[in-house]
Each structure stands twice: as structure tokens, then as C-alpha cells.
Amino acid sequence: MNILLLGSGGREHALAWKLAQSPLCTRLFIAPGNAGTTQCGTNVSIQPTDFNALGAFCLKEEIGMLVVGPEEPLVKGIADFFYDEASLRSILLIGPSRAGAMLEGSKAVAKAFMKRNDIPTAAYRVFDNHSFEEGLPYLQQHTLPVVLKADGLAAGKGVLICTSRDEALAEFTSMIRENKFGEAAKKVVVEEHLQGLELSVFVLTDGRNYVVLPEAKDYKRIGEGDTGLNTGGMGAVSPVPFADKVFMDKVEQRIVMPTIKGLAAEKIRYTGIVFIGLIKVGEDPYVIEYNCRLGDPETEVVLPRLQNDLVELFEMAATHRLEHAKIQADPRTACTVMTVSGGYPEQFQKGFPIQGLEEPLPSGSLLFHAATRQEGGKIVTTGGRVLTATSFGSSVAEAAANAKKALEKISFQEMYFRKDIGFEFA
């Protein structure tokens, strides 16, 4: 089967690496891909939101499976576009319909879905321009800290944790009245702050049945010790020591099952990944967010641990046969450490050549490109998160040490990475 994968980050390089290993994969194309994905297949210069061009490409290259990496095409309705077009409908598409993707595309939609389906999450209210005046007294009496979330997609930047009432009122005002996050913040979810360790859980569903992939924890802050600004993700580990069987059983019973049941009951077409971002409060899991795709950089530790054939799993999902699937995971710990451009997540420069890519990696380590491009004879940086090294170990500390060792030969101007990924489990 020929496969087309959409996206260009570290998640997509890891997906391309895993898909290409399957005997079921004949040709793999990545649109648009990066310098790393060319090791696994053929890059195609089409943007993931150019549905017409993607449809034409799929017909020309006889694509049998379309795997959607990032959220944007899903929220814009790529699955509906392919479903509605008779000549494209038979392509196995990994990614939910637009209605399903709204679990990520609108925090208000996600919260209402959780409420209807009795899924544990932080208490909340939604405000917009019309209810702005009611929001002010609501914030005045809210416990601190209070969490403000822009409703729509905001590339991970739409969440504010306010520790004072003045800050909360000022941010609330600038989100709703001054369009701080643009369209995304026309509605604001105000929610209770939950204190605890976070966990990313990835569920692959065919709309009725599901399997839970290895869990992961990512490290979102730029600075060591989880300090400084939020980023797309600076590293990840899998498995996560506190996610033991007792806890994961609660996650499955209280969150995963009602989520999948709710999607089916509400007739939302959902083939693909439900990424549940949750937080452990005391001994209990609460949902912080849903995403409609795999996480980045979580994918860079989840897929190296996954021993199943990913094309086979995706095929079972797209043909509604997931009840026959059983997940096999490498019991060792995987850790990934992301290198970023100096200045990220604020202003940074790009276009710097990357040295050391031709050096052999320590055995068992993997290097996934996230923002790179081939330029003449060189590979150069093209974004904030540049590349990530994934390594294994018998503990989090050993896996993290191996990932840092794998980065020893890699360098580019102003390269930065956190040296403490996995620190709380060391």
C-alpha cells in the first residue's frame, strides 16, 4: 500500500520512520516533510491544508492510506473532504472528522462534551463578548490561581495561569475585548486550577473500539526545573513511573471508555488518535485537554517503544477492526531530548547549518528532525524546535543520559536543550 503522511515536525519524522518499517508499506510520501523524513520516504511539496492538491496527488500516486500528523488540517475538515469525494472515500484516513477534531479545535466544545459524558475535568465556565460583564464578578470570586483558555487553536499559547485577580481581570479583558489571541480568544474558558503531575495518554480508535498506546510525559517549559515560557515541548519520557496499573485502570474506566462511547453515541466519525492530556490530582485523573492527533515530542518516545506494525494498526482502525488489536510495548524507558534554536520560544534565527549529522549515533539511539531543510550540500535549521534525540535505558535517568550522549556530536549556532528531562523521576 502507498501511504501519504502529512506534516513536517519531529512527530512526522518518527511516524515516517515507523510506517516505513512495515512490510505493508510499499511507497511512503511525506507532505511536506523535512530533511529527516527523506531517509524514510519521498517528500512532496504540498501543504497539509491544500486539500485539492492532496486529493489529486492521492489519485495520481494510488495512495491507499492518508495519515494526518498535525491538527490544523483535521480541524479544517480534511477527513470530511476525503469522505465527501467519491473518488477519495476508499482511502484509509487516519484522523477524525471535523466534528471530532473540534475536541481540540474548541476548548468550549471539549468541556461541554466532558460534562455531557461525565468525564472528570476542572470546573469551568465559558464567556464571550456578550457575557463579558458576567465574567468580571465571576473572576472576582474565583479561587486562585485561575486558568484562562482561549477557545480556539492557539499553537499551545492560549492558556494563561493567573495568580492574582488583577492579572486575571486584565488578561480576560485583553483576550475578549482586545483580541489578544485573535479569533481563538473570542470565547474564553475560565477554569479551576488543578495541581498535580501531567500525563499524555494516546488512544487509537476506530470509532467504537480502541487501544491505548504507551503513555508519555512531556516537558513544556523552556527552562530547567520546569521554569520559564511554555514551548511546543522540550523532551519526553515513556513509560511514566506514576502511571501504574491502578492509575491507568482509572484512566481507562473514567476517561477513555466514556470518551469513545460519547463519540459513538453522538455519531461523531472518529478514526485516529484521541490524545488525552491529563493531570493526576491526589490519586485521580482529570482531563486538561483533548487533542485529535499524536503529541510532539511524545510521539518520539511512544513510537520507538511500540512493537506493533503501525500500518497494520492504522489499517485495523480505518476498517473498524480494532477489537482484534493488542498493543506490544518495549518495557525499557525511552527519553527524547529536543534541541532548539537560541531565543525560542520567542525571537530566534534560522538557516544555521547543522554539524555532526553524519557521525554514527550510539547504538540504539535515534535522531528525529523537527525543523530542518536540505540546502545545497548542507542541512540547515528552519524553525524553533530543530531535532530531537531518543534513547533507551533501564531507568529514566539512564535513558536521559543516553539521549544527551546522542546529542554530543550535534551542533548548530545557538543550539540549546534542557539537560534535566525526566528530572523528577531520576
Residue 159 as a binder of ligand AMP (CB under 6 A): the answer is: yes
> How would you classify the pairing of strands 197-205 and 210-212?
antiparallel
**Residue 361: strand, helix, or coil:** coil
Between the two ends of the chain, the Cα-to-Cα distance in Å is 43
120 touches ligand AMP (CB under 6 A) = no
Does residue 103 interact with ligand AMP by CB under 6 A? no
* From the list ligand GLY, ligand AMP, none, partner contacted by residue 380 (C-beta under 5 to 8 A by kind): none
Q: Binding partner of residue 233 among ligand GLY, ligand AMP, none, CB under 5 to 8 Å per kind?
A: ligand GLY
Verify binding: residue 296, ligand AMP, rule CB under 6 A.
Answer: no
The residue among 291 and 308 lying less far from ligand GLY, judged by its C-beta, is 291
Task: Find how far residue 353's CA is from the centre of its chain.
Answer: 27
Task: Tell how strand 372-375 and strand 159-162 pair up.
Answer: unpaired
Q: Which of 27, 125, 165, 193 binds ligand AMP (CB under 6 A)?
A: 193
Shortest reach from residue 198's CB to ligand AMP, in Å: 6
CA distance 210 to 204: 5
Q: Supply the DSSP string of 147-171, one letter for each residue.
A: EEEESS--TT--EEEESSHHHHHHH
The region of 77-85, 136-144, 188-196, 417-425 touching ligand AMP under the rule CB under 6 A is 188-196
Confirm or reject binding of residue 277 to ligand AMP (CB under 6 A).
yes
Q: Phi, psi (5° rounding) for residue 300?
A: -75, -10
Q: Answer yes or no whether residue 298 interacts with ligand AMP by CB under 6 A.
A: no
Do residues 387 and 373 lie in contact, with contact meaning Cβ atoms separated by under 8 Å? no
- Comparing CB distances to ligand GLY, the nearer of 64 and 235 is 235
φ and ψ at residue 359, rounded to 5 degrees: -70, 140
Of 410, 216, 214, which Cα lies nearest the Cα of 327? 214
CB nearer to ligand GLY: pick between 205 and 231: 231
In one-letter notation, the amino acid at residue 261 is: K
Q: Is 194 in the site for ligand AMP (CB under 6 A)?
A: yes
Q: Would you say 28 and 43 are in contact if contact means Cβ atoms under 8 Å apart? A: no
CB of 220 to ligand AMP, least distance (A): 6
> By CB under 6 A, is residue 327 in contact with ligand AMP?
no
- Regarding 102 and contact with ligand AMP (CB under 6 A), the answer is no
- Sheet (strand 42-43) strand order: 42-43, 28-32, 2-7, 63-68, 92-94
List residues near ligand GLY by CB under 6 A.
Answer: 218, 233, 291, 295-296, 298
Q: Which stretch binds ligand AMP (CB under 6 A): 171-179, 180-188, 189-197, 203-211?
A: 189-197
Interface residues with ligand AMP (CB under 6 A) are: 122, 147, 156, 159, 161, 191, 193-194, 198, 220, 277, 288-289
